[in-house]
């Protein structure tokens, strides 16, 4: 089976074709050098290869040049479904941590978030513990956190390009619907799913509606939308950064860790550590001329 090696970066010009081919040669990967082509000038290029190698050493060497290298099958690269995490994926921060910082509770809440995203704590228990600390805070805390949130580079481009080419896109998050709704609308997702942060009389109650949307729930949504569209998991691309994304990333045909936590870097083969969300388009073989949004 033929494969493609994709080189990309959003931090600076990525490793060029000549240097990239030389790097592949050091790993004895045979590349069709005559057909190497840029997908996005200075940012991403691809070349067909016949062999698969352990990427750890190649990835380390490319990383020194602020470049990602991924190798994936040539067949079925373009996916019909996108399931994306939100916090530290579609947006650059953790929304619950943003609320904690605004409320002056960062020191109590952020360390719990970090441990949960590393897979050291049960997600639901960690969510309940953090949300309980927000009890009595004004509900407007959510709006303030939303106002300060920023989309990750390439977020709109990813969603709008995939939808323009017939794919369906869903935001599925362990965060809160009060934030996923506006973020999904900004990017153009078909719909969104997340936890409901409960409030009464304008104050947060310190609770979330059960059942909690957790790592297993993300897999459930992946299967639900695959069934609704009439495709298999192999026709889906999923992206996330934390431990609660691992199950869906491993199940998807194209599971990508975006600046993933150590657990994901060890367990997920496709990684974007120097490339923004536009990298998911590069992995699917989209060129700049096919992008739907700047």
pLDDT in tens, 107-122: 999 999 999 988 899 9
Interatomic CA distance for residues 14 and 201, integer angstroms: 52
Mean pLDDT throughout 258-272? 95
pLDDT at 294 over 60: no
CA dihedral 42, 162, 241, 72 (to 10 degrees): -70
Which CATH superfamily groups domain 1-75? ACT domain (3.30.70.260)
- Residue 165, φ and ψ in degrees, nearest 5: -105, 20
Encoding tokens for residue 195?
Answer: 């936890």
pLDDT at 99 over 60: yes
Residue of 64, 23, 16, 58 lying closest to 38 (CA atoms) = 16
pLDDT at position 293 is 65
| Whether 135 contacts 199, CB under 8 Å | no
Which residue among 85, 97, 241, 276 is the active-site one?
85
The enclosing H or E element of 148 equals: helix 140-148
Per-residue model confidence as pLDDT tens digits over 228-253: 999 999 999 999 999 999 999 999 99
pLDDT at position 27 is 87
pLDDT at 264 over 70: yes
- Residue 47, φ and ψ in degrees, nearest 5: -150, 140
pLDDT at position 283 is 98
| Burial category of 209 from C-beta neighbours within 10 Å (exposed 0-12, middle 13-18, buried 19 and up) | exposed
Which residue among 34, 54, 87, 128 is the active-site one?
87
Average pLDDT, the chain: 95
Mean pLDDT throughout 75-103? 97
Interatomic CA distance for residues 69 and 58, integer angstroms: 7
pLDDT at position 33 is 95
Assess whether 51 carries a catalytic annotation.
no
Strand order across the 236-240 sheet: 191-195, 168-176, 81-84, 236-240, 254-258, 270-272
Per-residue model confidence as pLDDT tens digits over 188-226: 999 999 999 999 999 999 999 999 999 999 999 999 999
pLDDT at position 133 is 97
pLDDT at position 1 is 67
Encoding tokens for residue 267?
Answer: 């367990």
pLDDT at 57 over 90: no
Mean pLDDT throughout 124-132? 95
5 C-beta neighbours (distance < 10 Å), count? 25
pLDDT at position 139 is 97
Strand 168-176 relative to strand 254-258, pairing: unpaired
* Alpha helices, DSSP H, located in 188-245: 215-229
Assess whether 85 carries a catalytic annotation.
yes
Q: Which of 47-51, 167-171, 215-219 has the lowest mean pLDDT?
A: 47-51
Give the residue carrying structure tokens 């190649």.
58
Interatomic CA distance for residues 173 and 194, integer angstroms: 5
């Amino acid at each position: 089976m033929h494969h493609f090696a994709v080189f990309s970066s959003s931090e600076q010009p990525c490793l060029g074709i000549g240097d990239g081919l030389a790097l592949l040669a050091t790993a004895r990967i045979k590349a069709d050098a005559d057909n190497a082509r840029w997908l996005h000038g200075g940012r991403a290029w691809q070349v067909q290869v016949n062999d698969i190698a352990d990427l750890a050493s190649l990835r380390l060497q490319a990383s020194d040049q602020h470049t990602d290298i991924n190798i994936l099958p040539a067949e079925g690269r373009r996916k019909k479904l996108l399931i994306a995490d939100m916090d530290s994926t579609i947006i650059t921060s953790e929304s619950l941590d943003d609320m904690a910082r605004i409320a002056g509770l960062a020191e109590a809440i952020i360390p719990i978030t970090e441990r949960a995203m590393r897979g050291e704590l049960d997600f639901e228990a960690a969510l309940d513990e953090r949300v309980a600390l927000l009890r009595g805070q004004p509900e407007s805390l959510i709006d303030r956190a939303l106002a300060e949130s920023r989309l990750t580079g390439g977020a709109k481009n990813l969603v709008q390009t995939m939808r323009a080419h017939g794919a369906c896109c869903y935001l599925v998050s362990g965060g809160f619907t009060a934030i996923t709704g506006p973020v999904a609308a900004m990017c153009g997702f078909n719909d969104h799913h997340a936890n409901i942060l409960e409030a009464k009389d304008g104050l947060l109650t310190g609770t979330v509606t059960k059942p909690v949307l957790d790592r297993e729930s993300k897999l459930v949504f992946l299967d639900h939308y695959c069934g609704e569209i009439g495709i298999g998991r192999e026709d889906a691309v999923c992206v996330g950064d934390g431990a609660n994304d691992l199950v869906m990333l491993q199940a998807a045909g194209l599971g990508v860790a975006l600046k993933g936590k150590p657990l994901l870097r060890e367990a997920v083969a496709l990684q974007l550590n120097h490339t923004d969300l536009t990298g998911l388009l590069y992995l699917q073989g989209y060129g700049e001329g096919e992008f739907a949004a700047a």
